[in-house]
A and B are shown apart, each in its own frame.
Chain A
Amino acid sequence: MDDTIAVYVKTQEDLAFEYELQSNGDDIVVWKRYLEHRKACENPAALAWVYERCCYHFPGDCSMWLEYLQWRVALLVEANAVIFAGEFEKCNKLFEKAMYLCYQDVGIWELYLRHCVKQRNLGFIRDVLNRALQNVPLEHHIRLWAPVVELIETLLQNRPEHEFADPDLEFIVQQALKESSSDLHAVPKDLWSSHLLARYIQVAEEQEHILRLIGLTGDHHTISKVYNEKIILRKDFKPVERPLFGFYELYLNALESTCGHQRYNQIMAQCLEMFPEQSSTLVITLSIYFIKRRKFNEARNVLQDSLSSTTSMNSFSRIYDFLVKFLEVYVSSCMDLAQHEDGYEQQHIQLDREISFNIEVLENLMDSHSLLVSDLRLRQNVNDVKVWMDRVQLYSGLQEKLHVYTDALVKINPALVTEPAVLGKLWCNLGDLYISNGQIDFARESFERSTRVPFRFLQDLENVWHKWAEMEVECSRLPDALKILKRALVLPESPDLVVEKYESVKSGIPVQAVLFTSLKLWSFYIDLLEVSSNTAKVVEAYENIISLKLATPVHFINYAHFWQERDGWDDSFKIYERALVIFPGAVRLDLWRIYLKVSTDRLRPAETMRDLFEQAVLLAGEGMDCSDVFIQYGEFEEKQGMQKRCIDILVNGSTQIRDETSKLRLWSLCLEKCKSFLGLKASRDLYTKCIQNLPNSKVIPFVLDFAGLEETLGDIARARAVLRFGAQLAHPSSNTKLWDYWNELELRHGDKISFKEMLRTKRGLSDSLKVSTEDVSREDGNVEFVVSKAGSNLEPEQTTVNPAEISLDI
């Protein structure tokens, strides 16, 4: 001790502190002041000497030990634990001394553990940790675990997570065939970490993180044990940062090497139930599990079963691709094995069998891809008729096609078909199949049954009835076709009421109840009846569709035509008249045209014809362009010798028709007829009326005609007046024809004065009739330029006149 004093106490100050300690050695403040002094001297050995004396002087004061140890550890903070192992060892011993006195102090234990961690001596860390946990109360254990867990995190942070998605199948198959258990991708086990983590998780609050760390250790026994306890059995484990499926994947992977097949299967089944969206991953995992155990058939069966049960296209594609790859790899590996290995003949035979069988499976798989996809789409929605239709196309044989049709019709629920006419089409196709094969009886049986199907859409039902009747017609059995259609179109007692009910509660009433509203069937029925020449039935059918309000204009026309063919002209005319009451204007006009033509051809009495024409031309009042009817009417009167009446009719038409082209046509015709029948003079009034009636833009040709007429009659003054009137309708620049004509007229008949007068008029009009582009723009349909409102916030330009301004006329 005296030697030590001599070493460390060198200055007067040191000596002073030593003397003070002699007198007040129990005063911690003195010790602290002395320590401060020593720290300032920067002599670590001397400081350590004082610290140690102080700590032993106050054995129960753990804080002093902690301070000392913290200072001591800080000295090694930059040091390499291997190179300076001796220094670390000294420090360890110091900790041991401290722990002898302060064995319950958490802070010191924690510091000690961190110091151990730095040395990376795993056995020593575990030993210290164990002692610390034994000595420290339970509530402080978490603090003790912290440095160890941090170390484990560092150790595990670079370890790969188990990769399920893309296994090296070729390697796995080859290893399995060679009966070798080495795993290329096996992660080395970190038993130290897993052992500690398994203990830590019993007290840890953050379970998810620790479970993940355990998963990374690769220690399958620990993983399966801990995961079973914390995840599988508890069932309430809900991870936040990672999906639950990831933990189950790790668990399954761990189970592969730690438990029996039954347990693995049990958990796999549980996973498939819990994670249906991951079914493809799980199925592939399961197949790999079997492959690793040389159970190749089971692996293939699992994949094939899954292919035929999955309902997701994504899963299907993954499993299909994997199965194809597996078969390819398996076959090629078997071939390699057969070539390179000398074995018993029995083994070779077995391998050959295996190869040929799997090649067959592979070929079948490739060939049946479309069919498997079709299966999948049907699993997704068995009521999708279009998928069934596509499925039929996959088969070439009639028997197979028939099987698909019947399978479809048995499986489809008609109430759940969403598209109209497709289910009926399927039934029709089934019938067609039998028809094309000459089995008409079976086709009939099929059609008869299809009429009982509770279709959702009327089109479906009408199609099957129609097809059935069509088939009978094609078999030259018109009466049977008629019988079928008659059955289909039986009328209820109150058709309107039934239709009303059907439309109001559409889903409740079967379409069979409203089949009588099928226009398609009625049209076909009537066509067949007309062929069968049964007048009474044709009439009844036509009357039925008319009373059901199903008849179209074509039906009326056909009905009338039907009577005409049988010389029933009066009945035929009545049909037209009935149609004319029913349909709207545009259709009526067409009906009138036909009706009038038929009536004219039939040479009906003049008064009747007049009456009909008068009714027909009333359509002009509804805005219909019935100019042709006016012309026809005019021609009729002309033929009757009523030329004046013909002109009047045309004049009426010209004034009533709104369409400009038709109007012009009628006026031209009217004036022409007038000139021809009544003479030129008589047409003056008409020209006047025409010019007044037509819009300015169209009137000039008539003005010129009128002027020409007056010139012909020698009344040049009237001709000039007409031209003057026409000239005022447009600016001379856009009325050149008129001015040219006037010019020539004056040259032919005028004199200097009249010519000057014409020129004066022209000049006057040129001045007075301004071509206002703005006005033209504002006319309907033209494009108008408008002042941009953009930048309207700008100050308007000052235009006020400066009163002080003077103008200088230089």
Chain B
Amino acid sequence: MELLEDQYPSDNESEEEVTTYTRIDLPALPSALLDKFHVSPNIEKFTQQQPHRPQMNHLFTRVPATTQGVKWTSFAFIEMRPTLQQRQILDKVTCQIAGQMQRHGLSFQPLHMSDLGSPLPLHVSLSGNLEFGSAAEVDAFEHMLRIEVLQQMAGPFQVDFEPSLKVYENVGRNALFLALGVKSEQKNGVLRQLWQAVHESFDFCRRNDPAGDNSVSTHESDISSRSQQSSGHERSHVSIARAFSFQGPVFDPNASTSVRQIDELNRVLEATPIDPTLLQALTFECTGIKITKQRSNVWIGFPENT
């Protein structure tokens, strides 16, 4: 909470202080810099330790698959870098919902801040983990995706959210994600196109691979939500908070029970919609997508609107 207090003025701060804070106009770090050093060097193979760094909640900071028996991986997503105001709203929403969820024994932590207090970007997944046989395939995928995006996308678009939050469980079933669902029109419109572009590009690059169909895989250690991996554009969302358990499943180990409990949570969340003004403030303009490539992100911009 101290961290939160420091991030933005609290209620008891004077107007003057608020003004001073918002007066600052240095721009944020450019995405090119953040993308260049998206993933830390892999030290696990040298230290022989399990990843025990909780900042892995930076949910798509995926460890390159070289450590996991797969040669090359990638992942496509829309990045959302919340502004200060959006972070404040996310905190507010998370705190509000987290209070309700505590009754269910869940403690949600926001995902837009690392546990060390650094702002983190959020994302809307456009694929699961995509596995490739070689670096050349990843290059071809990137190349193909650029073409697909250029052909299929008319230009930047606004990403809006559904009024109520949803809970998703990850593949390892040791974490629950609190997520803002993308509006249906966009899910079935531009996001569907993007999913399609990503998968067509991927299929194109893996057309000579006999195991190509099975290459969109998930790892147990992957902490992004299962729905993202399996279903696709219908479940497009931005995860904003996470309840984590290292010990085992958050809910009942029985899968069907777990699904029932999640449904119940979702019903509770549906009954407490987010304030439309807050929701409106969380919308952002998507001007392109990103894919992970080795330890960096690659930006694929949409064509400019004419």
In the bound assembly, the distance between CA atoms of A406 and B26 in angstroms comes to 12
Q: Given A483-B116, A498-B47, A509-B46, answer yes or no on A442-B21 (Cβ-Cβ < 8 Å).
A: no
Tell me the dominant secondary structure on chain A's binding face: helix
A479 beta carbon closer than 8 Å to chain B = yes
B115 beta carbon closer than 8 Å to chain A = yes
Tell me the dominant secondary structure on chain B's binding face: loop
- Chain B residue with the shortest CB-CB distance to A442: B28
Interface residues in A429-476 (C-beta closer than 8 Å to B): 433-434, 437-442, 444-454, 468, 472, 475
- Chain A residue with the shortest CB-CB distance to B34: A449
A786 beta carbon closer than 8 Å to chain B = no
In the bound assembly, the distance between CA atoms of A492 and B6 in angstroms comes to 33
- Contact between chains at B29 and A477 (CB < 8 Å): no
Query: 0/1 per residue, B95-129, Cβ < 8 Å to A?
Result: 00000000000000000001111110000000000
Contacts of A479 in B (CB 8 A): 2
In the bound assembly, the distance between CA atoms of A456 and B38 in angstroms comes to 17
- Contact between chains at A480 and B116 (CB < 8 Å): yes
Contacts of B24 in A (CB 8 A): 437-439
- Contact between chains at A453 and B119 (CB < 8 Å): no
Contacts of A450 in B (CB 8 A): 37
- Contact between chains at A445 and B46 (CB < 8 Å): no
- Chain B residue with the shortest CB-CB distance to A502: B46
Give min CB distance, A328 to chain B, whole Å. 39
The number of chain A residues with a CB under 8 A from chain B is 45
Give min CB distance, B91 to chain A, whole Å. 12
Chain B residues with a Cβ under 8 A of chain A:
2-3, 6-7, 20-21, 24, 26-30, 32-34, 36-43, 46-49, 52-53, 55, 84, 114-119, 295
Contacts of B114 in A (CB 8 A): 448
Q: Given A402-B26, A479-B2, A492-B48, answer yes or no on A513-B43 (Cβ-Cβ < 8 Å).
A: yes
- Contact between chains at B116 and A402 (CB < 8 Å): no
- Contact between chains at B42 and A442 (CB < 8 Å): no
A493 beta carbon closer than 8 Å to chain B = yes
Give min CB distance, A556 to chain B, whole Å. 27
A490 beta carbon closer than 8 Å to chain B = yes
Contacts of A510 in B (CB 8 A): 40-43, 46
- Chain B residue with the shortest CB-CB distance to A434: B26
- Chain B residue with the shortest CB-CB distance to A515: B43
- Chain A residue with the shortest CB-CB distance to B37: A452
- Contact between chains at B39 and A452 (CB < 8 Å): yes
Give min CB distance, B22 to chain A, whole Å. 10
Q: Could you say which of A398, A437, A468, A512 contacts B43, with CB atoms under 8 Å apart? A: A512
- Contact between chains at B37 and A513 (CB < 8 Å): no
Q: Could you say which of A402, A448, A494, A498 contacts B27, with CB atoms under 8 Å apart? A: A402
Q: Given A409-B33, A439-B24, answer yes or no on A447-B118 (Cβ-Cβ < 8 Å).
A: yes
In the bound assembly, the distance between CA atoms of A493 and B44 in angstroms comes to 11
- Chain A residue with the shortest CB-CB distance to B36: A410
Q: Given A493-B47, A510-B43, answer yes or no on A442-B26 (Cβ-Cβ < 8 Å).
A: yes
- Contact between chains at B32 and A410 (CB < 8 Å): yes
Contacts of B117 in A (CB 8 A): 444, 472, 480
Contacts of B52 in A (CB 8 A): 490
A266 beta carbon closer than 8 Å to chain B = no
A93 beta carbon closer than 8 Å to chain B = no
In the bound assembly, the distance between CA atoms of A502 and B3 in angstroms comes to 36
Q: Could you say which of B7, B26, B47, B115 contacts A513, with CB atoms under 8 Å apart? A: B47
Give min CB distance, A472 to chain B, whole Å. 8
- Contact between chains at A439 and B6 (CB < 8 Å): no
- Contact between chains at B32 and A444 (CB < 8 Å): no
In the bound assembly, the distance between CA atoms of A171 and B114 in angstroms comes to 68
Give min CB distance, A264 to chain B, whole Å. 38
29 A–B contact pairs at CB < 8 A? A402-B27, A406-B29, A409-B33, A437-B24, A438-B24, A439-B24, A439-B26, A441-B84, A441-B118, A441-B119, A444-B116, A445-B118, A446-B29, A449-B34, A449-B37, A454-B295, A477-B3, A480-B2, A480-B116, A480-B117, A484-B116, A492-B46, A492-B48, A498-B47, A501-B46, A510-B46, A512-B41, A513-B41, A513-B46
- Contact between chains at A449 and B119 (CB < 8 Å): no
Contacts of B42 in A (CB 8 A): 510
Q: Could you say which of B28, B39, B49 contacts A493, with CB atoms under 8 Å apart? A: B49
- Contact between chains at A449 and B33 (CB < 8 Å): yes
In the bound assembly, the distance between CA atoms of A586 and B41 in angstroms comes to 41
Interface residues in A378-412 (C-beta closer than 8 Å to B): 398-399, 402, 406, 409-410
Q: Given A406-B29, A493-B47, answer yes or no on A445-B2 (Cβ-Cβ < 8 Å).
A: no
- Contact between chains at B41 and A444 (CB < 8 Å): no
- Chain B residue with the shortest CB-CB distance to A433: B26
Contacts of B119 in A (CB 8 A): 441-442, 444-445
A681 beta carbon closer than 8 Å to chain B = no
- Chain A residue with the shortest CB-CB distance to B115: A483
Q: Could you say which of B3, B29, B30, B32 contacts A480, with CB atoms under 8 Å apart? A: B3
- Chain B residue with the shortest CB-CB distance to A444: B118
- Contact between chains at B2 and A492 (CB < 8 Å): no
Give min CB distance, B8 to chain A, whole Å. 9
A487 beta carbon closer than 8 Å to chain B = yes
Query: 0/1 per residue, A547-563, Cβ < 8 Å to B?
Result: 00000000000000000
Contacts of B39 in A (CB 8 A): 452
Give min CB distance, A710 to chain B, whole Å. 77
- Contact between chains at B33 and A448 (CB < 8 Å): no
Give min CB distance, A470 to chain B, whole Å. 14
Contacts of B32 in A (CB 8 A): 406, 410
- Chain A residue with the shortest CB-CB distance to B47: A492
Q: Which of B34, B43, B84, B117 has the most CB of A within 10 A?
A: B117
In the bound assembly, the distance between CA atoms of A372 and B164 in angstroms comes to 55
- Chain B residue with the shortest CB-CB distance to A505: B46
Q: Given A438-B21, A441-B84, answer yes or no on A451-B40 (Cβ-Cβ < 8 Å).
A: yes
Contacts of A437 in B (CB 8 A): 24, 26
Give min CB distance, B259 to chain A, whole Å. 35
Contacts of A512 in B (CB 8 A): 40-41, 43
Contacts of B2 in A (CB 8 A): 477, 479-480
In the bound assembly, the distance between CA atoms of A448 and B118 in angstroms comes to 6
In the bound assembly, the distance between CA atoms of A439 and B118 in angstroms comes to 12
In the bound assembly, the distance between CA atoms of A475 and B7 in angstroms comes to 12
In the bound assembly, the distance between CA atoms of A453 and B295 in angstroms comes to 10
- Chain A residue with the shortest CB-CB distance to B54: A487
In the bound assembly, the distance between CA atoms of A398 and B41 in angstroms comes to 31
- Contact between chains at A477 and B6 (CB < 8 Å): yes
In the bound assembly, the distance between CA atoms of A452 and B56 in angstroms comes to 13
Give min CB distance, A463 to chain B, whole Å. 16
In the bound assembly, the distance between CA atoms of A795 and B46 in angstroms comes to 78
In the bound assembly, the distance between CA atoms of A442 and B295 in angstroms comes to 22
- Contact between chains at B6 and A475 (CB < 8 Å): yes
- Contact between chains at B37 and A453 (CB < 8 Å): yes
Contacts of B84 in A (CB 8 A): 441
In the bound assembly, the distance between CA atoms of A449 and B40 in angstroms comes to 9
Contacts of B20 in A (CB 8 A): 438
- Contact between chains at B6 and A440 (CB < 8 Å): yes
